[in-house]
Amino acid sequence: MPFEDAIGPEKILQVYDPITKMQGVVVIDNTALGPGKGGIRMVPDITTEEVFGLARAMTWKNALADIPFGGAKSGIKASASNSHKAQLVAAFAEKIAELVPKTYIPGPDMNMGEGDMKIIAETIGTPKAATGKPASMGGLPHELGSTGYGVALSTQVALEHAKIPIEGATVAIEGFGNVGTFTAKHLSSWGAKIVAVSDSKGAAYLEGGLDFETLMRVKKEKGTVAAYPGAKVLEARELFSVKCDVLIPGARPDVIHAGNMHSIKAKIIVEAANIPMRHEIEQQLAKRGILIIPDFVANAGGVISSYVEFIGGSEKEMFSMVKEKITANTRLVLEKAKNGDLRAAALAIAEERVIDAMERRRNSKPPR
């Protein structure tokens, strides 16, 4: 298998149910720090290689978040619009029950939501079988905005490091879904000025700052932030060249690339989305003096929330832990970074934590 290395994967389970025709795969990458944690996605073209890549990313994210979870991921090979989705999810749960929750703890990912996590928990027979469940089952729903809160905290630390006061700091945010809205909400409440926001239909730019409540109302009533009254309407891609202190890519991958990197005017980039640019692009921007907080540093609020849910913690405890962990880990990465390459520093910290845990586990085993 081409992706085996010193970290993992520890286990790959491919499953099939002949009754529902469900096909799925689970990759447990590394469990040295705790049970593998990572979401289930439902897409028709899922591959084992893709799931492994996502599982490895979760190994690093959970290690850097400093929570007792390892890395894992899973996928169901089907269209999300499948009329038998509930049956497919239940069949998948039955097939992976031997792993859950001791070795693997699933959560929602692409095309999977709290209702699907409810099915998994009920099928396996324990609320600990999944995170991201409905609040009625003790879940901490995505709607609480843990990821966006963490991105805002990471931005706050980055601004402090760059000696830019958060009061009046200008921010441009790509994407106004769950992560983007909560990021904007918290940064606005702390005094930052949101000067540009985009969604799939366009972008709104206002040098004097966009009001958060008005943005929410316009998005709800008009279906796009580009309808913000008095704002300059831009194409969504033009947001990346807006003059601002902080640029937050928060939607799609690879939005910053060789074709637009030279037009970026931000002093800081905080990656709310996963892989909004390749590592080599980050390195080139860092050479220009742009401070870049990597995705798995900034957007770990969601998995920290999952851990609090798993241990039966409250909403208040979740927000407290997100604040503590995201703030501390962003500061640590900034402190350890050399030549402005924060991703390399973050990966080195995560890898060291995983390898130390692997050695402790190895040394704790009695000799045969």
The predicted-structure confidence for 140-170, as pLDDT tens digits, reads as follows 987 899 999 999 999 999 999 999 999 999 9
Catalytic annotation, residues: 73
The vertex-322 CA angle with 317 and 326, nearest 5°, equals 155
Residues 129, 152 share a domain: no
Task: State the pLDDT at residue 115.
Answer: 95
Question: pLDDT tens digits for 189-202?
Answer: 999 999 999 999 99
Domains identified in the chain, total number? 2
CATH code for position 110: 3.40.50.10860
Is residue 196 helix, strand or coil? strand
Q: Is residue 5 part of a domain?
A: no
Instruction: Count CB neighbours of 106 within 10 A.
Output: 31
Instruction: Identify the domain containing residue 233 by its residue range.
Output: 146-302+328-348
Q: Is residue 307 part of a domain?
A: no
Q: Is residue 4 part of a domain?
A: no
Q: Is residue 365 part of a domain?
A: no
CATH code for position 260: 3.40.50.720
**What's the token pair of residue 3?**
């992706």
Residues 226, 106 share a domain: no
Kindly tell me the burial class for residue 183, based on how many C-beta atoms sit within 10 Å of its own C-beta (0-12, 13-18, 19 or more).
buried
User: Helix, strand, coil shares of the chain as percentages rounded to 5?
Assistant: 45, 15, 35
Residues 278, 155 share a domain: yes
Q: Is residue 106 part of a domain?
A: yes
Q: Is residue 65 part of a domain?
A: no
Residues 273, 159 share a domain: yes
Q: What 8-state DSSP symbol labels residue 167?
A: T
Task: State the pLDDT at residue 2.
Answer: 62
Q: What 8-state DSSP symbol labels residue 41?
A: E
User: 326 with 146: CB under 8 angstroms?
Assistant: no
Give the residue from 88, 121, 138 where a domain finishes.
Answer: 138
Residues 221, 86 share a domain: no
239/328 Cα distance (integer angstroms): 30
Question: pLDDT tens digits for 109-144?
Answer: 889 999 999 999 999 999 999 999 999 999 998 789
Question: pLDDT tens digits for 2-53?
Answer: 678 999 999 999 999 999 999 999 999 999 999 999 999 999 999 999 999 9
Q: Is residue 159 part of a domain?
A: yes
Q: Quote the pTM value.
A: 0.93
Residues 232, 98 share a domain: no
Residues 223, 120 share a domain: no
Kindly tell me the burial class for residue 211, based on how many C-beta atoms sit within 10 Å of its own C-beta (0-12, 13-18, 19 or more).
middle
Residues 121, 178 share a domain: no
Residues 289, 166 share a domain: yes
Residues 155, 85 share a domain: no
Residues 186, 164 share a domain: yes
277-301: b or e for each residue (b if 16 or more CB lie within 10 Å)? beeebbeebbeeebbbbbbbbbbbb
